[in-house]
Amino acid sequence: MFQPDRCQATVRFVEFRRPPECPAAKFEREKRMNAFRVFLAAVFVVIAGYTLVVVTSHGLNLLPVFFGDMTRMQWPGQFNLDFMCMLLLAGLWVGWRHQFSLTGVVLGLVALFGGALFLSAYLFRRELQDKGRHAKAPPGRRPGILMKGTTCELRPSNRM
């Protein structure tokens, strides 16, 4: 019979280590990451330039145009709705990466309104900070933290 006050959860933390990388593979990985960095820089420059031209020509009157297209139920509105959902996902992802701390919420809102201009700069900075090691990119939480405060006892185990 199941008794919740006596449950035990066995948790095993397994550390996966990559084998040492040969110099040729490291060089290839660095080449790919440099190409990604160039792409991010190009996205930032193109969008910043385009935004500057549009703002000087039409002002900051974006929201009535953006939502006006959506209310007409035509293809521009469908594209705007899809784009808005992508911005919401980007904002949630950035907030999640920072575990929805105050910084994470603020950066998530900046991602929501800044779009690709913000994300290209954010990813460029993260890429330089992580040095191409994306295994450590998403922080996540350990199972022990999720179980904190319950009546279950967590015991490390060497068994599967």
User: What is the 3 state secondary structure string of 77-146?
Assistant: HHHHHHHHHHHHHHHHHHHHHCCCCHHHHHHHHHHHHHHHHHHHHHHHHHHHHHCCCHHHCCCCCCHHHH
- More confident site: 84 or 18: 84
* Residue whose C-alpha is closest to residue 91's, from 75, 113, 70: 113
Domain coverage including residue 49: 23-156
Task: Give residue 150's pLDDT band: very low, low, confident or very high (50, 70, 90).
Answer: very low
Residue 46 lies in a domain: yes
Q: Is the pLDDT of residue 147 over 60?
A: no
Predicted local confidence at residue 28, as pLDDT: 80
Predicted local confidence at residue 149, as pLDDT: 44
Q: Is the pLDDT of residue 114 over 50?
A: yes
Residue 93 lies in a domain: yes
The pLDDT of 97-109, averaged and rounded, is 95
Predicted local confidence at residue 24, as pLDDT: 77
Residue 44 lies in a domain: yes
Predicted local confidence at residue 44, as pLDDT: 96
Predicted local confidence at residue 129, as pLDDT: 85
The pLDDT of 100-124, averaged and rounded, is 95
Residue 135 lies in a domain: yes
**Per residue in 45-91, pLDDT tens?**
999 999 999 999 999 988 899 999 999 999 999 999 999 999 999 99
Number of domains in the chain: 1
Residue 103 lies in a domain: yes
Q: Is the pLDDT of residue 132 over 70?
A: no
Average model confidence (pLDDT) across the chain? 80
Q: 């350990």: which residue's tokens? A: 142
